[in-house]
Amino acid sequence: MAKQESLIKFRGKVGDLSFSKHRNRGYEVRMKGGVDKARIQSDPNFQRTRENMAEFGSAAGSAKLIRMQLNNLLRTFADNTMRNRLTALMHRIQKADSSNARGERIFLEENSAMLKGFEFNQASSLKTLLEQKLEPVYDRATGEATLIIPEFNPQNDVMLLNGATHMQFTLAVAELSMDDVPPRPMMARSGYIPLIGVHVEETLQAPLVVDPTKVVYIIVGISMYQEVNDSYYPLKNNPYNAMTIVEVDVP
């Protein structure tokens, strides 16, 4: 693939040339090529291609529903690779469907435990920021998610970032839904915890009224802030904020 070296950078199509900008590689240009769309849709030789396209499209749709559900949280925690990584994970979960034929496999809730461990920011993790285990639990009888934040000393247990003065914990619990309008998650946040002095044990609880037949997943996040005149500002670009799907409760 060629790169654009001129002072004027193009985007779009000119004849058989397609101009674009990649977020990592910069401005690029490529020749129009590939197989005709009509042929892909009808030629028996492209049966596997059509099957893969159908399943990948379905995975992209499922991932979009989760992004919609967590939209407010993603503004704080997600990196610019999250969208593609989540779609790829949903595609892998689809492939675990042993009931349907290739090309018709779908996201089955019985396989949703594979969501556990997904990092919304691949540059960071809860373990990177805090040398303590965070293990929330969900009680189906009461519909409540609970996270016990253990006692910790930030000077010993926290990755101290340049400019950060405080940290905050977020607990979120959501019903896994493939409906067109997924239900919003329930959330609880700690206060702004100073990065000096011992922080005593604290409990966060988020209630969720959910159908007992539904899958529930639990998310924990850690975000960093700088205090200026009693106001708390996120660090520039939040490069180290971490958010993880730490538990998936399958009925």
Domain boundaries, given as residue ranges, for the chain: 2-31, 37-115, 126-249
CATH class of the domain comprising 126-249: mainly beta
* Predicted pLDDT at 121: 95
Average pLDDT over all residues of the chain: 83
Q: Which residue has the higher pLDDT, 170 or 4?
A: 170
Read off the pLDDT of residues 159-179 as tens digits, 9 standing for 90 and up: 988 889 999 999 999 998 887
* Predicted pLDDT at 209: 78
Alpha-carbon distance of 144 to 216, in angstroms, equals: 11
Q: In this structure, which amino acid lies at residue 97?
A: D
Confidence of residue 77 (pLDDT cuts 50, 70, 90): very high
Confidence of residue 40 (pLDDT cuts 50, 70, 90): very low
Q: How is residue 128 written in tokens?
A: 């990177």
Is residue 47's pLDDT more than 70? Answer: no
Q: Which residue has the higher pLDDT, 42 or 130?
A: 130
Confidence of residue 95 (pLDDT cuts 50, 70, 90): confident
Is residue 153's pLDDT more than 80? Answer: yes
Alpha-carbon distance of 64 to 59, in angstroms, equals: 9
Alpha-carbon distance of 144 to 223, in angstroms, equals: 23
